[in-house]
Amino acid sequence: MSILILAEQHDGELAAGTAHVVAAARAIGGDIDVLVAGEGVDAVAQAAAGLDGVSRVRVADDAVYAHQLAEPLAELLVALADDYTHVLAASSTTGKNVLPRLAALRDVAQISDILEVVGADTFKRPIYAGNAIATVRSSDPLKVITVRTTAFDAVADGGSAAIEPVSAEVSNPSSRFVGEELAQSDRPELGSAKIVISGGRGMGSGDNFKLLDGIADKLGAAIGASRAAVDAGFVPNDMQVGQTGKIVAPELYIAVGISGAIQHLAGMKDSKVIVAINKDEDAPIFQVADYGLVGDLFEILPALEQKL
């Protein structure tokens, strides 16, 4: 078996998710290569070469890959896929954008968001917002897979894989990067933070999210949100946790003013410890919370910040 992993990048650095995808690849077994595609990606390639279990890092450094657009990345992967039995990526917005395109171009299925490797061709994945787990087997010659990073422990650093350039002629006449608005934050990434504190519609306004800041500062936590809080414009879309947002599984998840709809639970119910703060004692969030505190968040949050 030979596996190619599409590296995940963030601000010119290797994103944390890739080390988790390598762990999934090790569970499959075989040689593991990482593809780093982008413009000016030396640092990313170096970091990928250090991941335990990686045999080779293949680097495609070209302006055409600069913004991780799906069309050129899929074309590049198609050109490389002959050498592999599996192509993996994190189940991030990049992985989800690119891998189905590769799969279709190779006329194979794509397996989304795997949670467990049962065998080299058999995987478990969540369906219906994680309310059921499906076991699927692929008989396709190439397995194209996105990986739920929170389901696999990251591999350590300590490897020293070879770094090799790849040459492929890829052009992209049909899509063009126009611009981006990226959230600026000194806090840890939602997907990899040890503690996450999320606010819901109960926060009442974007301004009130400041009540979470002091607590997040003290705990080194990332801040998340429910869909209702994002839809209401309290906070940006990249903070949404849930079935159709980000999946998190921190040591501690604190849900504040969030009712606990199944779509929200889908994104956080694998957290180790869940705390819920809600004024409605019948809110469904309490059914999954290890510690529930019934009361008004506007009184509880300042008190909590003080106690930490």
Ligand X SMILES: Cc1cc2nc3c(=O)[nH]c(=O)nc-3n(C[C@H](O)[C@H](O)[C@H](O)COP(=O)(O)OP(=O)(O)OC[C@H]3O[C@@H](n4cnc5c(N)ncnc54)[C@H](O)[C@@H]3O)c2cc1C
Annotate 60-83 with b (16+ C-beta within 10 A) or e (fewer): bbbebbebbbbbbbbbbbbebbee
Residues 74 to 93: which contact ligand X by CB under 6 A? none
Under the binding rule (CB under 6 A), the answer on residue 148 touching ligand X is no
Among 45, 278, 286, 292, binds ligand X (CB under 6 A): 278
Q: What's the CA gap between 154 and 283, in Å, rounded?
A: 34
Which DSSP symbol is given to 183?
P
Under the binding rule (CB under 6 A), the answer on residue 17 touching ligand X is no
3-state secondary structure of 237: helix
- Residue 217 contact among other proteins, ligand X, none, beta carbon within 5 to 8 Å by kind: none
By beta-carbon proximity to ligand X, the closer residue of 51 and 203 is 203
Q: How near is the Cβ of 86 to other proteins at its closest, in Å? A: 13
- Picking from 308, 205, 182, 207, the residue whose alpha carbon sits closest to that of residue 254 is 308
By beta-carbon proximity to ligand X, the closer residue of 30 and 284 is 284
- Residue 259 contact among other proteins, ligand X, none, beta carbon within 5 to 8 Å by kind: ligand X
Integer angstrom CA distances of residue 102 from 63, 146, 256: 20, 12, 40
- Residue 96 contact among ligand X, other proteins, none, beta carbon within 5 to 8 Å by kind: other proteins
- Picking from 225, 227, 229, 195, the residue whose alpha carbon sits closest to that of residue 304 is 195
Q: How near is the Cβ of 73 to ligand X at its closest, in Å? A: 25
Q: What's the CA gap between 283 and 294, in Å, rounded?
A: 10
Q: How near is the Cβ of 163 to other proteins at its closest, in Å? A: 26
By beta-carbon proximity to other proteins, the closer residue of 84 and 161 is 84
Q: How near is the Cβ of 245 to ligand X at its closest, in Å? A: 4
3-state secondary structure of 203: helix
- Residue 279 contact among other proteins, ligand X, none, beta carbon within 5 to 8 Å by kind: ligand X
> What track of x and - describes contact with ligand X for positions 215 through 254 (by CB under 6 A)?
-----------xxxx----------xxxxxx---------
Contact between 223 and 212 under an 8 Å Cβ cutoff? The reply is yes
Under the binding rule (CB under 6 A), the answer on residue 261 touching ligand X is yes
Q: What's the CA gap between 40 and 58, in Å, rounded?
A: 14
Q: How near is the Cβ of 202 to ligand X at its closest, in Å? A: 3
Q: For CA atoms 194, 246, 126, 111, give the dihedral sign.
A: negative
By beta-carbon proximity to other proteins, the closer residue of 162 and 183 is 183
What lies within 8 Å, CB to CB, of 112 at 6+ separation is: 91, 96, 125, 146
Q: How near is the Cβ of 49 to other proteins at its closest, in Å? A: 24
By beta-carbon proximity to other proteins, the closer residue of 20 and 101 is 101
By beta-carbon proximity to other proteins, the closer residue of 53 and 250 is 250
Structure tokens at 88: 């993996």
By beta-carbon proximity to ligand X, the closer residue of 50 and 204 is 204
Q: What's the CA gap between 165 and 298, in Å, rounded?
A: 55
Contact between 81 and 179 under an 8 Å Cβ cutoff? The reply is no
Phi/psi at 164 (nearest 5 deg)? -130, 140
By beta-carbon proximity to ligand X, the closer residue of 251 and 280 is 280
Residues 189 to 218: which contact ligand X by CB under 6 A? 200-202
- Positions touching ligand X (CB under 6 A) are 200-202, 226-229, 240-245, 257-259, 261, 263-264, 267, 278-280, 283, 296-298
